Structure 1
Amino acid sequence: MYKPAITGTGVFTPETVITNAELVDAFNAYADKWNAEHAEAIAAGEVEAKEHSSEDFIVKASGIEQRYVLDKTGVLDPEVMHPLLRQRSDEEPGVMAEMAVDACRKALAQAGKTAADVDAVICAASNLERAYPAVAIEIQDLLGIKGFAFDMNVACSSATFGIQAAADMIRSGSIRSAIVVNPEICSAHLEWRDRDCHFIFGDVATAVLIERSEDATGPYFEIKSTRCATEFSNNIRNNNGFLRRSRPDGMKDRRDMQFMQNGRKVFKEVLPMVSQHIADHMADEGIEAADLKRLWLHQANKTMNDFIGRKVLGRDPEPGEQPNILQDYANTSSAGSIIAFSKYSNDMEDGDKGVICSFGAGYSVGSVIVERHG
C-alpha cells in the first residue's frame, strides 16, 4: 500500500469582482421594475411585492462581502440578471476547461512537477459544462497528460469525493498521481432575481496534485484517511444544470430550474450530520480535537462554519484555526474548502494535522484528514 499525499495546490481567480453594494443596487433596481410592472396585482393582493436587499442583510445572512465572477455585465443588468458567457465553438477550449487548466498548472508548479508526472485527471464540480465528452478529458488534452480522465459530480462535496477517489487509486498502486480539479461557475446556475439567495455564489477553479508520498520533491500533506457519506434530500436542488439558457415558452420563468435551497431545513439537518461525520472520522483514526491544527471547511455560510468548528473542537475556534474565505470569494461550491486549504496551510509545521471537509446537496459530506511533512 502506498501513501497518498497532496503535493501542490492551485487556485484560478477571475479578474472581475461584484461587491455587495453593486449587487444590491442591481437587485433593487430589478425589484422596483418588477413591482411597477405588477402594481395592480400587488394592490389587489394577488402577488407580494419584492423586498429590497441590503448590504447588512447579505453580511448578516452569510458573511459574504464580495464575489469573483466570470461576467458581471449581465448579472448587474436588471433586464438580464445572469452572466453573459459567450457560446464557444466546438474547436475552442470550453470555459470550464480553460479555468481548470490555469489552476492545474499552478498546482503542478507548486509541486515541482510537469504533465508527464500525472497519470489521471478527475474533474469534480457541482455543475458541468456539458454531458460529454468529459470536461476532464478536455483538461487532460490541454495539459498534455497521458493516462485517463473522468468527470464526477457530488455537488458541493465534489472536491473531497474526488480526493478520496484519487487517494484510493494511489494507495492501491493503480496510478502514481492524479490531479483533482474543481472548476466552479456558480454564477451561471444562481437565480440572481431571488432575494433569499442572490448573494450566495461566486466563480473559481481549484486543483490539487495527489501523488505517492515517496515521489514528493518538497513539503507535502499526507492523506491519512478519507471518509464520504450521502443522504438524499431535495432541500438543495437544481433541475436545469449548468447554464441558464433560453427555454420553450412557459418554461423560461420556472424558478425550480435554477439553484434552490430551503435554508432553514439545510441548516437544521446538515450541521448535525457534518459535525458528527467529522467527529466519528477523527475518533476512528484516534485523533483528538487537541491534535488538530486546522479545519478547512466548506465555504457556504460563516454561521454554519462557526457552529461546526465549535462542535468539532469543543470550544470556539481560535483565529486561524478555521479560516474563512467567504468574505472574499462567497460560496464557490466544491472549491471553497480547497481555496481555504491552499491559502491557509503554508504555516503548518511537520506533524501538524488538519481536516478538509466539504458538504452540501445530496446531502453529501466528505472529510480528508491530512498531516504535514517537511
Structure 2
Amino acid sequence: MHHAVIAATGLYTPPHSLSNTELVETFNAYVERFNGANAEAIAAGEIVALAPSSPEFIEKASGIKSRFVIDKTGLIDPEVMRPVIPERPNEEISVLAEIAVAAARDAIARWGKDVSQIDAVICAASNMQRAYPAMAIEVQQALGIEGFAFDMNVACSSATFGIKTAADFVASGSARAVLMVNPEICSGHLNFRDRDSHFIFGDVATAVIVERAEDAPPSGENAGWDILGTRLKTVFSNNIRNNFGFLNRAAPDGVGATDKLFVQEGRKVFREVVPMVAEMIVEHAGDLGLAPTTLKRLWLHQANINMNVMIGKRVLGREPEDGENVIILDEYANTSSAGSIIAFHKSSEDFAAGETGLICSFGAGYSAGTVFVRKR
C-alpha cells in the first residue's frame, strides 16, 4: 500500500465579478415590472406581490458581498436574468472542460512535474454540462494525459469525495498520481428571480493533484500535505434539490420550471447539516488521534457564513480566532464543490511542517466529506 499526499492545487477565477448592488438592482427592476404587470391580480389577492431585496439583506443572510461569474451581461439584464453562454460545436472544447483545464494547468505548474506521471483524471462537480462523454475524459484529452478518467457528482461534497477516491487509487497502486478537478458554473442552475436564493452562487474551477508519498519531496515548499485520513457520509434529503435532467427538459425560465433549478429549504438545511457535520469532524478527528483544538485551520465548504461560523465553534469548542476558520464567501460566494478547495488553495502557504488542518465539505444529498492533512 502506498501513502497518498496532496501535492498541489490550482484555481481558475472567471474575469467578471458581480456585486450584491448590481444583482439587487437587476432583481428589484424585475420585481417592479412584475408587480406593475400584475397590479390588478395583486390587488384582488390572486397573486402575491414580490418583495424587493437589498445588499444588506444578502450580506446578513449569507456573508456574500460579490461573486465571480462566467457571463455577467445576462445577469444584469432584467429581461434575461440568466448567464448567456453560447453553445459550442462538438469540435470545440466545452466551457466546463475549458475552466477545468485552466485550474489544472495552474496545479500542474505548481507541482512542477510532467503530465505523463498522472494516470487518472476525476471531474468532481455539482453541475455537469452534459451526460456524456464524461467531462473528465475531455479534460484528460486536452491535457494529454494517458490512463483513465471519469465524472462524479456528490453536489457540494464532490471535491472531498474526489480526494478520497484519488487517495484510494494511489494507495492501492492503481495510479501514481491523480488529477481531480472541480469546474463549477453554478450561475447556470440558479433562479435569479428568487429573492431567497438568487445571490447564493458563483462560478469558479479548482484542481487538486494527489500522488504517492515516495514520489513527493520529503520536505520543503513543494513537499505537499500528508493525507492523515478521509471520511465520507451521506444521508438522503430533499431539502436541497435540482430536478433538471434529460427526462424533464423544461426551459429554465419556462412556466412551472422553477424546480428544474436550484431549490432549498435553507432553515431545515441549517438545523440538520450543522450538527451532522460538526459531529462527523470531531468523531473522525478522535479516531485519528487528533484533538480538534490542535488544528491550525479549517477549510470548510463555503455555503453560508452562519453555517461556517457555527460549525467552527462546535468543532473547536470556542469562537474561532482570526485565520482559523477560513471564509472566502465574501469574494467568491458559494461555489459548491470548489469552495473548500479555494479556501485551502488561498490560505495554506503559512503552514510549517507538522501542522495540521481540515478540508471539509457538505451539501445536497445530504453529503459530507472530511480530509485531515498535515504539512510535510
TM-score range, shorter-chain basis?
over 0.9
Within 5 Å, give how 1:180-329 maps onto structure 2: 180-217=180-217, 218-241=222-245, 247=251, 252-329=255-332
Q: Deviations over 1:191-241 (max 9, x none)?
A: 010000010000000000000111114221011100000000000000115
Cα distance 1:88–1:355, how it changes in 2: closer, same or farther (>3 A)? same
Counterpart position of 1:177: 177
**How far apart are residue 247 of structure 1 and its match?**
3.2
Q: Deviations over 1:11-34 (max 9, x none)?
A: 000000100110010000001011
Q: Which amino acid aligns with 2:131?
A: A
* Aligned partners of 2:250 and 2:257 also within 8 Å: no
Q: Which moved more, 1:251-260 or 1:120-129?
A: 251-260
SS at match of 2:232: strand
**Alpha-carbon distance between aligned partners in 2 of 1:111 and 1:290, rounded to the nearest angstrom:** 31
Q: Which amino acid aligns with 1:83?
A: P
* Aligned partners of 2:13 and 2:68 also within 8 Å: yes
Counterpart position of 2:19: 19
State percent identity of aligned pairs: 59
Q: Deviations over 1:112-156 (max 9, x none)?
A: 112111100000000100000000000000000000000000000
**How far apart are residue 252 of structure 1 and its match?**
4.0
**Alpha-carbon distance between aligned partners in 1 of 2:122 and 2:292, rounded to the nearest angstrom:** 31
* Aligned partners of 2:170 and 2:212 also within 8 Å: yes
Q: Which amino acid aligns with 2:226?
A: E
TM-score by length of 1: 0.97
Task: Confirm or deny that 1:350 pairs with 2:353.
Answer: yes
**How far apart are residue 246 of structure 1 and its match?**
6.3
Task: Confirm or deny that 1:70 pairs with 2:74.
Answer: no
Runs of 5+ consecutive residues of structure 2 not aligned to the other structure: none
**Alpha-carbon distance between aligned partners in 1 of 2:64 and 2:254, rounded to the nearest angstrom:** 31
Counterpart position of 2:112: 112
Q: Which amino acid aligns with 1:86?
A: P
**Alpha-carbon distance between aligned partners in 1 of 2:328 and 2:193, rounded to the nearest angstrom:** 24
SS at match of 1:142: helix
Counterpart position of 2:61: 61
**How far apart are residue 285 of structure 1 and its match?**
0.6
**What value does the CA root-mean-square deviation take over the aligned residues?**
1.5
**How far apart are residue 251 of structure 1 and its match?**
5.1
Runs of 5+ consecutive residues of structure 1 not aligned to the other structure: none
Q: Which amino acid aligns with 1:335?
A: A
Counterpart position of 2:141: 141
Task: Confirm or deny that 1:131 pairs with 2:131.
Answer: yes
* Aligned partners of 1:111 and 1:216 also within 8 Å: no
* Aligned partners of 1:154 and 1:161 also within 8 Å: yes
Cα distance 1:142–1:84, how it changes in 2: closer, same or farther (>3 A)? same
**How far apart are residue 355 of structure 1 and its match?**
0.6
Q: Which amino acid aligns with 1:356?
A: I
Task: Confirm or deny that 1:359 pairs with 2:359.
Answer: no
* Aligned partners of 2:328 and 2:343 also within 8 Å: yes
**Alpha-carbon distance between aligned partners in 2 of 1:293 and 1:237, rounded to the nearest angstrom:** 34
**Alpha-carbon distance between aligned partners in 1 of 2:234 and 2:312, rounded to the nearest angstrom:** 21
**Alpha-carbon distance between aligned partners in 1 of 2:327 and 2:201, rounded to the nearest angstrom:** 15
